[in-house]
Copies of this chain bind each other. A is one copy, B any other.
């Protein structure tokens, strides 16, 4: 096995699990732990992973804290909007999930488009309060701080009584084999119930969220209808997504 090849496999394993130990890697790749450690150190230097005692963790380019992101919006995410906006038609009922990309969508809905927007995120409700033509439905429930959204049984029961034309969500982690995933069980339950009620589910987000997994699967990949991402997407990831019959829109990187 070539070194570069092994590095590739290490990064793949890491994306899949979010973490990896030196011992596990040595076993699965059939080389000595010393070699693995040298690999991990090298990849760590290159900022391709986060080297820690005992193994490595995935690099966390995005700040884990929602409130940090709240104050420093990243306008580059606006580029995902245009394809999303073309899907909208007057009179539709859509879901706009929580998250930065989704907030941009809420903030940039055309003023003359009458829609019913359903969301569990109070920030998005607020963004839409001034909109003249949009009826807003807030999904109730327990507020889940890390995701800035409502979760729990009440939320799911309320969702079950509405049908959606389109659901827009951020890509938290999407993998052709392991599906659409998030980090929290409670969040996964609500998102699953949401997608269940939708004619069409659209994921929007940067390419580095693709080919990743997190702890809880929301739905298998084939339940997603459309992915909007940017040019950085790898060719193999692109084909694996399209093979599933998922529509793929790639927007330029500015």
Residues of A at under 8 Å CB distance from B? 2-5, 8, 11-12, 15-16, 19, 21, 50, 52-55, 57, 62, 64-65, 67, 120, 122-123, 125-126, 128-130, 135-143, 145-146, 148, 150, 154-155, 158, 161
Contacts and interface: CB of A to CB of B under 8 A. Distances in A.
Contacts of A154: 140, 158, 161
Contacts of A52: 2-5
A21 B139 CA distance: 32
Residue in A129, A139, A140 with the greatest tally of chain B CB atoms within 10 Å:
A140
Nearest to A12: B146
B161 A130 contact: no
A57 B16 contact: no
A145 B128 CA distance: 10
A146 B3 CA distance: 22
A150 B140 contact: yes
Residue in A5, A139, A145 with the greatest tally of chain B CB atoms within 10 Å:
A145
A135 B151 CA distance: 12
